[in-house]
A and B are shown apart, each in its own frame.
Chain A
Amino acid sequence: MASLSEEVLLVVKKVRQRKQDGTLYLMAERIAWGPEGKDRFTVSHLYADIRCQKISPDGKAKVQLQLVLHTGESTTFHFANESSALKDREAAKELLQQLLPKFKKKANKELEEKNRMLQEDPVLFQLYKDLVVSQVISAEEFWANRLGGVNNTDPTLFNNKQEVGISGAFLADIRPQTDGCNGLRYNLTADIIESIFRTYPAVKQKYSENVPHNLTEKEFWTRFFQSHYFHRDRINTGTQDIFSECAKQDEKGLKSLVVQGVKNPLVDLLSLEDKTLDEGYGVSTTQPSTSNANRTVKESSNYAIIKRFNHHSAMVLAAGSRKGETPADQASETSSTDGNSRDSDFFQPPVKKVKLQEAIEYEDLQRENRPKTVALNLKKSDRYAHGPVPLQSQQYTTSQDIINSVNYIRHEMANYKPNLTQVVSSTAASSAIVALSPGGVLMQAGAQQAINQMVPSEVQGELKHLYVAAGELLRHFWSCFPVNTPFLEEKVIKMKSNLERFQMTKLCPFQDKIQRQYLSTNLTGHLEEMLQTAYNKFHIWQTRRMMRKT
């Protein structure tokens, strides 16, 4: 067989795929199937590619196992061995169940991250293509700086991928199905288990305490579904139930939340009433006493449901925001540890003030606070962007000044008398005109303005890419200075050669190309200038180093 060097964990014979008999192999890293009598695999999936497995219900005539891949494709195996089909399937399923999660975790997280970054950022993708694919720099180099930079400089940007919350109805998704003979089946997926753990840390704790030493995983979940804990309307009866402790813990958590009180004074029902009537006064609508003594069974079960719903929602909400809120939590803890709620009075007013202000605000009665501005209405926006810029800042501060100077110029112009004896020579004049015409020496600033008319868009695009790539390389280069470690020395030398290679492989062909198209070569002038500056810097640095060494 093809790769016998692989460790084969399980071999199941008489497995049909696409109506063909064959053998199923479960190996260390992949699952494979080959038709009978041939020694090659027609189906082979890496475990890492598999999203989940599905099995046919127990009662069905066909015993099947389906693999769903990340790509959305699926492969179905039919276990055809009459006598042991079910057993075979179970064995395969069990093994897969153990293997798949391992590979899921192993699935290269970093690669995913890189992939995501490239997908999300087309500029980066282009850069990647320009630099890595064309082998200007190696992929590691590219990523080392990229990932590290993202991680170090802007952690929020890196983390701001929103955490996915938990569906409020995850328990509802576990629909029990009757299996025909007075039993119930619950389908649990890894997601649901994760949800349960995140929402109810107490269950997670129980799980880690009991599984696998006391119970198997299956037993644990069976008990979970049997417990009153899961069925919120059932009242705590058995004490042998391992989840009764969870319920107690929940109760405690709920209580502590209640005792903690609320931060927003506007929703604090306890302090809403200013002066409660003393006991015995008022028209009492005889409050049903809250003690459990005279509640009927139904009432207390209803009460339990209501409590559990509040708790569940609170937990789901907390699970969703737990990560992001840690710093805030700490802050609030420090304020609450300062003493009882009364002493934290000093902390209270800000929240309270803000809430009160919010409550009395009528946004539409107020004039908008910003000073009124006139929208800038540009007829030609590029004229605005590239218009003549005064070389040195003039002191035309007030409009009066401007008007004065305009008047002055007008006055001057009116009184202008050409002094014909002192005019410039015609050659000087014509050269000045040439210099001031588009394309002339003095009008080069204007050349850029024309680039979008003069240069075809594909060249423009290419130029843009070159700029980005050069910028990236130069960034690497300049980030090495000041060179104070051997590592940086090494890097700066490498970067220099990278720059040179870039110039050779990318810039020069581009220059040739535009030359061939008779475009003005100074398109790349700035790029070259930048590179030259970098080379100069490098030379200065190198000569200095040499001098120090000698």
Chain B
Amino acid sequence: MKLNIEGLLVYFPYDYIYPEQYSYMLELKRTLDAKGHGVLEMPSGTGKTISLLSLIIAYQRAFPLEVTKLIYCSRTVPEIEKVIEELRKLMEFYSKETGESNNFLALALSSRKNLCIHPEVSSLRFGKEVDGKCHSLTASYIRAQRHSNPNLPVCRFYEEFDAVGRQVPLPPGVYNLDDLKDFGRRKGWCPYYLARYSILHANIVVYSYHYLLDPKIADLVSKELAKKSVVVFDEAHNIDNVCIDSMSVNITRRTLDRCQNNVDTLQNTIHKIKETDAAKLREEYRRLVEGLKEANVARETDIYLANPVLPDEILQEAVPGTIRTAEHFVGFLRRFLEYLKSRLRVQHVVQESAPQFLKDIFDKVCIDRKPLRFCAERLQSLLRTLEIADIADFSAVTLISNFATLVSTYSQGFTIIIEPFEDRTPTIANPVLHFSCMDPSIAIKPVFQRFQSVIITSGTLSPLDIYPRILDFRPVTMASFTMTLARTCLCPLIVGRGNDQVALSSKFETREDFAVIRNYGNLLLEMSAIVPDGIVAFFTSYVYMENIVASWYEQGILENIQRNKLIFIETQDAAETSMALEKYQEACENGRGAILLSVARGKVSEGIDFVHHFGRAVIMFGVPYVYTQSRILKARLEYLRDQFQIRENDFLTFDAMRHAAQCVGRAIRGKTDYGLMIFADKRYARADKRGKLPRWIQEHINDGSLNLTVDEAVQLAKHFLRQMAQPFRQEDQLGLSLLTLEQLQSEEMLQKITQIAHQT
């Protein structure tokens, strides 16, 4: 259908539309009009992606000079591929309606592992190996060496791409990862580099967060993207953690040992080169004196050598004299390494700020701040000069030099914590230096500054106001949309008591209590008897789940559950869990029914949807608080309090509730879907917890279902399931939660739609 969104003609590739989609597009348009940033929460399964794409593409077509590019960031590979497929649908609709093939270029970009077509390289299992191997075939100096020695191995796909691939732009169309690979195979071009090159002129780019948020990658991949782009972060409820992760470094003793080896190798290589080819080192020195940055030609392949700090922090001056010669630099690295080793030989926990660390290092080993800042840059230059092929071996020294650069660049927002041992095993010495970022706004700041509109959206962003605070930006629109429903297809229940009136809670004091564990078991058992097909249960942590499973086993509860359904359990091994997941789905498919025991914050809770019969009920055992004893977390909480005036408890609850909402939200994917959401902890009943759930869940919790016993919950669930099992047709939805174009245009409906968006 063709929509009129405040004067903008929007093609929407479906015959019907949900009211909230219309409302969402309205808000989105206002954000784009204002050239500002937006925070939009819309329930999962209400067609968020297609609304986003429809509106932004319409906008792009209407105002090609205002918005030149859409950068769509998602989290996982399947998500990326889904976005591209929806886009394909939209584009097909466009060409059908307008009768002309539009010249939009849209493509997905992923890591080499997902795009490589080189027969040997692509057969490697891990992303890191693929990257390393690719690098050893395509790095600029390797290719330069090949001029003198043609026997070196070569990646013909890259060579072919390098020779001709840049001259002809990728023809317009929608390219998913597989399409890129097909295209690459047909032309004999490397799909990865083709994609990386093509994102510069593509109208729509879909890739993962890291390509924009991790400075080490962003510098290489996303540097030249146009400023007049719209950036969308989908599934952005965890964006702060992604930001923090990309700027944090951990150093263990093992890292230092490997680093020592690296430095030795460097030393030897320098010696060797000095004997044979001293001119090369002199040349490098000359370059560094002149302070010339490397010319950018032929550098795109040198992936490991990116600077860890954000672009505006990189110094544009010459490398200081103390580390300019290769030997001096290696000596400098040695000193730095020794210093770090001495710091790791602690008996007690040390926590200090970056300036403190810099002062200490200056006092102890006379290392100045300035050479430290150039450490990463200098190492890049050296590795390139020495023409080292397998850069993956040098990850340790790269890590150290990145740390050096980071610690000397940022005086705020970071903390250094040195722990001599793990808390759980105080007898085993395992010193770790955590250099952790506490301020997610640091990593995302350049994105907000650079691009004219950044949209942060997800199914669960409540409470909305916290994101602008922790990411430090001023949104022009903030809105939370509800799900209009013709039938209440979600049933949140808060189970606070067992049948024996024991209060259910995962809080620390009662965590080991047998009565609680038994009651949790009963809840699962009773539910397994009445819920059809799949049930997913989430625990607050892996250790907690292990303990509960063990005691359920001892008490024979699991055996009784097995009478009703098969049991699958998430493990820490991703491959094993994948298998369990597939078997779980198989068991749901063939009617036997199954239970998946899983962990909040785990991979399953973050990336897997349990649509329709794969998840008829989700049970959240306990409130998934983060492990609060961690010093890093404490430091971060302190920082949040001091800098952003966010109270510790507020943040912890916010964090726990967003994970809980993520978990239970996995079960509902659309209006034809239905599912029970069982919160098994009495603490959920409190207003401060409940109030932090997304509005679309909150509004279905009525006062009657706040503190149920297991039996009461079972009764309500039975009733709900029976109701839901009735046939549900399109006609039932029409006019309420599903609109035709005519219905949409009626005055009354437009009135209603304005109420859907909940402004904060």
Residues of A within 8 A of B578 (CB): 258, 261-262, 267-270
B72 in contact (CB, < 8 A) = no
CB distance from B216 to the nearest CB of A (A): 8
B307 in contact (CB, < 8 A) = no
Contact with A along B587-629 (1 / 0, CB 8 A): 1001010100000000110011101000000000000000100
Does the CB pair B630–A285 fall under 8 Å? yes
A471 in contact (CB, < 8 A) = no
B644 in contact (CB, < 8 A) = no
Contact with B along A269-289 (1 / 0, CB 8 A): 111111111111111111110
Does the CB pair B577–A307 fall under 8 Å? no
Residues of A within 8 A of B722 (CB): none
Residues of A within 8 A of B217 (CB): 275
Residues of B within 8 A of A262 (CB): 578-579, 581-582
Does the CB pair A317–B127 fall under 8 Å? no
What is the bound-complex CA distance between A470 and B531, given in angstroms?
52
Interface-forming stretch among B96-104, B244-252, B696-704?
B244-252
Q: A271-B77, A278-B395, A282-B248 are in contact. Are A365 and B738 (CB under 8 A)?
A: yes
Residues of A within 8 A of B249 (CB): 280-281
Interface-forming stretch among B27-35, B192-200, B474-482, B549-557?
B549-557
Does the CB pair B395–A279 fall under 8 Å? yes
Contact with B along A240-257 (1 / 0, CB 8 A): 000000000000001001
What is the bound-complex CA distance between A279 and B127, given in angstroms?
12
What is the bound-complex CA distance between A302 and B572, given in angstroms?
13
User: Using a Cβ cutoff of 8 Å, how many contacts connect chains A and B?
Assistant: 238
What is the bound-complex CA distance between A303 and B217, given in angstroms?
37
What is the bound-complex CA distance between A397 and B315, given in angstroms?
84
What is the bound-complex CA distance between A192 and B658, given in angstroms?
46
Does the CB pair A340–B248 fall under 8 Å? no
Q: Which of B130-166 contact A (CB under 8 A)?
A: none
What is the bound-complex CA distance between A266 and B114, given in angstroms?
14
Query: Smallest CB-CB separation from A266: which chain B residue?
Result: B78
B300 in contact (CB, < 8 A) = no
- Interface size of A by CB at 8 A reads 75
B668 in contact (CB, < 8 A) = no
What is the bound-complex CA distance between A309 and B594, given in angstroms?
12
Query: Smallest CB-CB separation from A361: which chain B residue?
Result: B670
Residues of A within 8 A of B730 (CB): 364, 368
CB distance from A246 to the nearest CB of B (A): 19
Does the CB pair A343–B603 fall under 8 Å? no
B683 in contact (CB, < 8 A) = no
Does the CB pair A306–B672 fall under 8 Å? no
Partner of B592, one of A254, A266, A306, A317: A317
CB distance from B593 to the nearest CB of A (A): 9
B332 in contact (CB, < 8 A) = no
Does the CB pair A362–B579 fall under 8 Å? no
B359 in contact (CB, < 8 A) = no
Does the CB pair A272–B546 fall under 8 Å? no
CB distance from B542 to the nearest CB of A (A): 8
Does the CB pair B14–A269 fall under 8 Å? no
A168 in contact (CB, < 8 A) = yes
CB distance from B553 to the nearest CB of A (A): 5
Residues of A within 8 A of B574 (CB): 269-270
What is the bound-complex CA distance between A314 and B592, given in angstroms?
12
Q: A264-B582, A274-B114 are in contact. Are A313 and B568 (CB under 8 A)?
A: yes
Does the CB pair A343–B244 fall under 8 Å? no
A359 in contact (CB, < 8 A) = yes
What is the bound-complex CA distance between A33 and B613, given in angstroms?
56
Task: Please indicate which of the listed interface residues A271, A290, A343, A357 has the most CB atoms of chain B within 10 Å of its own CB.
Answer: A271
Does the CB pair B607–A360 fall under 8 Å? no
Residues of B within 8 A of A286 (CB): 422, 432
Residues of B within 8 A of A356 (CB): 78, 81-82, 85
Partner of A362, one of B208, B547, B590, B670: B670
Does the CB pair A306–B566 fall under 8 Å? no
Interface-forming stretch among B15-23, B285-293, B458-466, B493-501?
B15-23
Does the CB pair A172–B208 fall under 8 Å? no
B540 in contact (CB, < 8 A) = no
A316 in contact (CB, < 8 A) = yes
Contact with A along B671-704 (1 / 0, CB 8 A): 1100000000000000000000000000000000
What is the bound-complex CA distance between A118 and B576, given in angstroms?
49
What is the bound-complex CA distance between A278 and B86, given in angstroms?
31
A201 in contact (CB, < 8 A) = no
What is the bound-complex CA distance between A288 and B217, given in angstroms?
28
Does the CB pair A276–B592 fall under 8 Å? no
A320 in contact (CB, < 8 A) = yes
What is the bound-complex CA distance between A270 and B553, given in angstroms?
29
B47 in contact (CB, < 8 A) = yes
A299 in contact (CB, < 8 A) = yes
Query: Smallest CB-CB separation from A339: which chain B residue?
Result: B123
Interface of B, helix, strand, loop or mixed by DSSP: helix
Residues of A within 8 A of B65 (CB): none
What is the bound-complex CA distance between A298 and B564, given in angstroms?
28
Residues of A within 8 A of B558 (CB): 309
A263 in contact (CB, < 8 A) = yes
What is the bound-complex CA distance between A165 and B592, given in angstroms?
9
Does the CB pair A365–B15 fall under 8 Å? yes
Residues of B within 8 A of A282 (CB): 245-246, 248, 250
Contact with B along A349-366 (1 / 0, CB 8 A): 100100011011011111
A409 in contact (CB, < 8 A) = no
CB distance from A225 to the nearest CB of B (A): 15
Residues of B within 8 A of A266 (CB): 78, 608-609
B455 in contact (CB, < 8 A) = no
B128 in contact (CB, < 8 A) = yes
Residues of A within 8 A of B672 (CB): 363-364
Q: Which of B281-332 contact A (CB under 8 A)?
A: none
Query: Smallest CB-CB separation from B123: which chain A residue?
Result: A342
What is the bound-complex CA distance between A298 and B49, given in angstroms?
46
CB distance from B426 to the nearest CB of A (A): 13
What is the bound-complex CA distance between A317 and B583, given in angstroms?
8
Does the CB pair B563–A167 fall under 8 Å? yes
What is the bound-complex CA distance between A280 and B75, given in angstroms?
21
CB distance from A30 to the nearest CB of B (A): 37
B580 in contact (CB, < 8 A) = yes
B363 in contact (CB, < 8 A) = no
Does the CB pair B560–A285 fall under 8 Å? no
Contact with B along A301-341 (1 / 0, CB 8 A): 11101110110011011001100000000000000000010
Does the CB pair A275–B208 fall under 8 Å? yes
What is the bound-complex CA distance between A360 and B609, given in angstroms?
12
Residues of A within 8 A of B17 (CB): 365
Contact with A along B212-240 (1 / 0, CB 8 A): 00100100000000000000000000000
**A residues engaging B (CB < 8 A)?**
165, 167-169, 171-172, 232-233, 254, 257-259, 261-288, 290, 294, 298-299, 301-303, 305-307, 309-310, 313-314, 316-317, 320-321, 340, 342-343, 345, 349, 352, 356-357, 359-360, 362-368
Query: 7 shortest A-B CB distances, which residue pairs?
Result: A172-B559, A169-B562, A274-B208, A365-B14, A282-B245, A313-B566, A367-B15
A-B contact pairs, 18 of them (CB 8 A): A168-B565, A168-B566, A169-B563, A172-B559, A271-B77, A271-B113, A276-B128, A282-B245, A284-B250, A286-B422, A286-B432, A302-B549, A305-B549, A310-B580, A313-B568, A321-B590, A345-B181, A364-B730
**B residues engaging A (CB < 8 A)?**
14-18, 47, 49-50, 75-78, 80-82, 85-86, 89, 110-111, 113-114, 122-123, 127-128, 178, 181, 207-208, 210-211, 214, 217, 241, 244-246, 248-251, 255, 395-396, 399, 422, 424-425, 428, 432, 434, 436-437, 543, 546-547, 549-550, 553-554, 556, 558-560, 562-569, 571-583, 585-587, 590, 592, 594, 603-604, 607-609, 611, 627, 630, 632, 670-672, 730, 733, 738
Q: A285-B630, A362-B14 are in contact. List 19 more A-B contacts (CB 8 A).
A: A167-B563, A169-B559, A169-B562, A258-B573, A266-B609, A269-B578, A274-B77, A299-B546, A306-B571, A310-B568, A310-B571, A310-B580, A313-B587, A349-B178, A356-B78, A360-B82, A364-B671, A364-B730, A367-B16
